[in-house]
Amino acid sequence: MTTIGVVHATPMSLTALVGPLARWLPGAAVRNVLDDSLLVELQQHGCVTPALERRLERLVTYLLSEPVDALQFACSGFAPVVDRLSAALDIPVRTPDGALYRQLADGPMRRIGLVATVPTALDSAEQRLRALLADRGGPTAVWTVAVPEALPMAQAGDQSALAATLAAAIRPWREDGVEGVAFVQYSLAPVADSVSQRTGLAVATGPDAAARDLAIALARPGRGDSEHASTVPKEQDHT
């Protein structure tokens, strides 16, 4: 049986990954580890400190104490650490939103909006997406918006209020010709369909892209591949 190890920094990402993993990797076992103080400290410091990095490494060591076939991180703020860890492991190791950014860069949209509730997560997402777009050479314009007032709604599980607040924040983008948006935090994924219906904009999410990418990587011979070398094919929208 395939086993996926997932590192979480908030309980909200636990539920966000359940559906996509079941859809793209049916029958796979999922082993989750959670340290919900990581995100709090990341927000306090504004960056990944050496102490936070050591704690992440200990979580990974714990996950790998039993065999896993792939390792998925579910907090976008720690993506730079994941890049370093992946070089030392012979299994697929995935950043939270690497697959999402490749999906956007390789897709047909040329006017993309990024949405987050935590400004530090948004800054990191924009930098990584723009770097990938530069490598691809595509003429893509990127809009961003941080909606911090939506964070308590996500934490409380108030999906109706969360969807309404996010929709209000991005609806003006339609006048700018934005073709679609991406939620760069896993905690926002559960309301993707609702926000899409409210705004008429396509909404892509990290959990769905990540689960699809893991399924592709695990079906490929030689599983210890580099995330940056893989590509995500265009296909039907599952967000």
Looking at the fold, whether 44 and 118 belong to one and the same domain comes out as no
Using 50, 70 and 90 to split pLDDT, how confident is the model at 80? Answer: low
Beta-carbon-side half-sphere exposure of residue 232 (alpha carbons within 13 Å): 27
- Give SS3 for 31: strand
**Residue 229 CA from chain centroid, whole number:** 18
Looking at the fold, whether 143 and 115 belong to one and the same domain comes out as yes
Using 50, 70 and 90 to split pLDDT, how confident is the model at 222? Answer: low
Where do the H-state alpha helices sit in the chain?
A: 11-24, 37-45, 50-63, 79-86, 98-106, 119-136, 151-156, 159-170, 192-199, 206-218
Mean per-residue pLDDT, 78-104:
83
**235 found inside a domain:** no
Q: How many domains does the chain have?
A: 2
Whether the pLDDT of residue 235 is over 70: the answer is no
- Residues 162-221 have pLDDT tens digits of 999 999 999 999 999 999 999 999 989 999 999 999 999 999 999 999 999 999 999 976
- Residues making up the chain, counted from first to last: 239
- Residues 138-148 have pLDDT tens digits of 667 999 999 99
Looking at the fold, whether 91 and 106 belong to one and the same domain comes out as no
How high is the mean pLDDT of the chain? Answer: 85
Nearest to 75 by CA among 129, 13, 21: 13
- Domain ranges, residue 17: 3-96+207-229
Looking at the fold, whether 187 and 218 belong to one and the same domain comes out as no
Beta-carbon-side half-sphere exposure of residue 146 (alpha carbons within 13 Å): 10
Looking at the fold, whether 105 and 134 belong to one and the same domain comes out as yes
Q: Which helix (H) or strand (E) holds 72?
A: strand 70-73
**Residue 153 or 81, more confident:** 153
- Compute the C-alpha angle 132/138/141, nearest 5°: 85
**237 found inside a domain:** no
**19 found inside a domain:** yes
Looking at the fold, whether 181 and 119 belong to one and the same domain comes out as yes
* Res 179: pLDDT: 93
Mean per-residue pLDDT, 224-231:
46
